[in-house]
Chain A
Amino acid sequence: MIELFKNPNYDFIGKRKWAYILSAVFTLIGLGALAYHGGLRYDLDFTGGTLIQVQFEKPPTVAAIRKSLGTIHLGESVIQEFGDNREYIIRMPLVENVSSDEISRRVQSALAAESSLGKFEIRRVEFVGPQVGRELQLQAVYLVLGGLVWIAIYLAWRFDLRGGVAAVVAVFHDVIVCLGALSLTNREFSLPVLAALLTIIGYSVNDTIVAYDRLRENRGKSVPRGRTFAQQMNDAVNQTLSRTILTSLTTFFSASVLLFFGGKTLEDFAFVLFVGVITGTYSTTYIAAALVVDWTNHVEGRLRRGKKAVAKA
């Protein structure tokens, strides 16, 4: 049989100080990228505006598209190639007092007027008004917070408060890293990205549950005397290691297929899953498990000191 790991016994928990530094660095890079770009780049769904996807019969130049659109005065439009060199996306900001069908009509006639562009087909029009955009922005924040609260409550109920909080810190780290990666690669925060983020919130905590479960199962049996809590946690992580890696691998395969073959529309969504699966696996051990160890050590240390103080008195 094929085995990824044969009785693995790596010292994960012992090296947690380094992992903390690494996590801090990743988080800082993420936050730095966000700060550098002035926050997330929100997609049309959140900012409001108009998006028009056009497929031309022969590859056009951006300059020709820009020139034709220059005549209709609808604000600064962004023109991007989308997936293939005949397909373009035109984004326009909200213009007061101009309705969405007015915008698409004007764009259509402007493109038709520019003879060098040739024949084209408008394949998609999306218009999001200012009101809807604002509502969605708020809802998005509620959703992510709702996801985190759900995880915290579930784990606090299934295990204990420490486990719940540590898992949420780990998941929060994953969210920051995903958002940072999004910002670093200059991608936009859209509704599908939000969906991916929530999936990662639910998914990332899976490995953590498996490790915690194992820890509890081991402690339920006769605990080998003399093994510290840190060592017990390390055992649990090692015992579930192959499972963790394997399941992450299959989900990672799925995310990769989506990223590379899912088409342009799903690309950002798949990217977040791609990054999220990796960081989710990492954070299980190095943040969730490690934090529980340090927290427990801290509490036990204080208890011991308390006892000593009582003994002295």
Chain B
Amino acid sequence: MPRHLRFRIALVVVVVAVSAWYLYPLKSAINLGLDLQGGIHLLLGVQADKHVASQTDRAAEDLKGALERKGIAVKRIARDGDTAIAVELANPQSWNDARTVVAEFSSFERRDEDAAAGRFRLVMQDARVRQLRDDAVRQGLETIRNRIDQFGVSEPIITRQSADKILIQLPGLQDPARAKALIGKTALLEFKLLDERTPVEQALAGQLPETSEVLYGREIDKQTKAERKIPYVAQKRSLLTGAELTRAEVQADPNSMGNWQVAIEFTATGARIFGEVTEQNVGRRLAIILDGTVYSAPRINERIPGGRAVITGQFTVEDARDLAIVLRAGALPAPVVILEERTVGPSLGADSIRQGLIAIAGSSLVVFVFMLVYYRLSGLVADVALGLNLLILFACMAAIRATLTLPGLAGIALTVGMAVDTNILIFERIREEMRVGKTPRAAIEAGFRRALRTIVDTHLTVMGTAVILLSFGTSSVKGFGVSLFIGLGASLFTAYFFTRLLFDLLYMGRRKVESISI
């Protein structure tokens, strides 16, 4: 009797049982990639520098206020690049007073001081810049997760990838364009007063005060669907932002049939600021601005207490619903850009699965028949081993929750061809040993022993390149690497260990073996 026969049989039974357990039920066991089940894959780049710049802006604003409160006149104060503020005092004599004020801005360092001229620059500390950049990505990730949760997508993947990128995968989505708009919107809501002293024509010609800017509103003609841009001159300072929102709800627009609006409600602080702003500016126009686009600019007729407002535009119900979602989830701290997008419709995914399975089935069939014809009973042994290989391969993918992609299916089809390599190597060796006159049993023994080293070599080389593929970032290539790696790893077990077991059972019994069907 061959050695450890019982133990080896038990091991195979255990492997089969565990594989079957992982694969049951088949439908939910295998994680299909977006290219197979349809869905959207987005790689977003967070423009973290913009967050740093806006924080620098805010600090410049605060500094100006602090200096003014101390009675220090400022000739010029402006952001210089993303991380610096250039300050010029009106009177160099107030230098020492200014220094004490500046000392309170602990995350900035004073540089390029020119006491005689009353000029200096404040530069943000590197540690603070790094922290802000990190914050921008982390908060962005949270905000996007919030939005997607509210939008309702099953099993989304939202993760940070490298320092300033966010990877989003939304499987089985029907309306990718809408999802993209929802995710990519910065959703920075601002309230700014219009600058009604500067005529629009003059502002468009570039003549406008430093504190004002030109913003545009959009209007869509109902008949022609043509988009028209309407310029506004607004003050740069925003009086209130969406950060002070507590609620955002969709409502029918009472003034325009078929249009929808979003009603918003401020926090206590927001409501107080809103009340003050409206009180102090009765008669002026207040622009409601989302991501730099003016949605409306109603005239303030009286103080508005209670902190409620509506955002109108020519919204469809879906537009309004999505706007309410992004307002509730909050603004992204920094804008994002789409670096990479891959959207696959569900019908294409189904086609790909079909074609991938045909390729695997076809490849298996050809190899199966070939082995059977060429090696007869031994070929059948190899075929059974091949079947076991596929079983283990799928089970491993289920066990490690690997994602099966179209290139992954191709990898499996290829594995089928490569897995029988091992058996061919062994069988050819056995034939050779028999040719030099060995008995069948001795030939089997020698064939398996001598082929082992070569088999390990051939597996390691291809598995090595599969590992290199695995290290590659892109998911489709990764999927191929995974299935190739697991397939070859499994073939070491099936094509060598399992085949040997079957040979032992067939030929190593007590009866005398005259020949081998090989």
* Total chain B interface residues with beta-carbon distance under 8 A: 73
A237 to B421 alpha-carbon distance, docked (Å): 17
A99 to B435 alpha-carbon distance, docked (Å): 69
* Total chain A interface residues with beta-carbon distance under 8 A: 68
A272 to B184 alpha-carbon distance, docked (Å): 38
Report B437 CB to chain A, min CB distance, Å. 14
Report B218 CB to chain A, min CB distance, Å. 14
A192–B461 touching, CB < 8 Å: no
B348–A131 touching, CB < 8 Å: no
Report B43 CB to chain A, min CB distance, Å. 7
A200 (CB) vs chain B CBs: closest residue = B465
Q: Which of B348, B460, B463, B476 contacts A192 (CB 8 A)?
A: B476
User: Is A303 in the interface zone, CB < 8 Å from B?
Assistant: no
Q: A121-B347, A154-B461 are in contact. Are A254 and B367 (CB under 8 A)?
A: yes
- Please choose the segment from A59-67, A68-76, A143-151, A227-235 that sits at the chain B interface, where 4 or more of its residues have CB less than 8 A away: A143-151
A158 (CB) vs chain B CBs: closest residue = B457
B341–A100 touching, CB < 8 Å: yes
B414–A258 touching, CB < 8 Å: yes
A257–B370 touching, CB < 8 Å: no
Report B137 CB to chain A, min CB distance, Å. 16
Interface of A is mostly: helix
User: Is B140 in the interface zone, CB < 8 Å from A?
Assistant: no
A146–B468 touching, CB < 8 Å: yes
Number of A-B contacts (CB under 8 A): 214
Residues of A within 8 A of B356 (CB): 262-263, 266
Report A200 CB to chain B, min CB distance, Å. 9
B477–A195 touching, CB < 8 Å: yes
A208 (CB) vs chain B CBs: closest residue = B461
A101–B348 touching, CB < 8 Å: no
A253–B359 touching, CB < 8 Å: no
B469–A124 touching, CB < 8 Å: no
Residues of B within 8 A of A99 (CB): 184, 337-338
A129–B345 touching, CB < 8 Å: no
A118 to B485 alpha-carbon distance, docked (Å): 45
Residues of B within 8 A of A213 (CB): 453-454, 457
A139–B457 touching, CB < 8 Å: no
User: Is A183 in the interface zone, CB < 8 Å from B?
Assistant: no
Within 8 A of B (CB), among A237-253: 239, 242-243, 246-247, 249-253
User: Is A290 in the interface zone, CB < 8 Å from B?
Assistant: no
B348–A124 touching, CB < 8 Å: yes
User: Is B366 in the interface zone, CB < 8 Å from A?
Assistant: yes
B341–A125 touching, CB < 8 Å: yes
B413–A262 touching, CB < 8 Å: yes
User: Is B480 in the interface zone, CB < 8 Å from A?
Assistant: yes
Q: Which of A55, A123, A192, A209 contacts B458 (CB 8 A)?
A: A209
B484–A199 touching, CB < 8 Å: yes
A252 to B407 alpha-carbon distance, docked (Å): 17
A198–B469 touching, CB < 8 Å: yes
Residues of A within 8 A of B466 (CB): 199, 202
Between-chain CB contacts (< 8 Å), 8 pairs:
A99-B184, A100-B341, A124-B344, A131-B45, A150-B465, A199-B462, A250-B424, A261-B358
Give me the interface of A with B, judged by CB distance under 8 Å: 1-3, 45, 53, 55, 99-101, 104-105, 121-129, 131-132, 136, 139, 143, 146-147, 150-151, 154, 158, 191-192, 194-195, 198-199, 201-203, 205-206, 209-210, 213, 217, 239, 242-243, 246-247, 249-255, 257-258, 261-263, 265-266, 269-270, 273
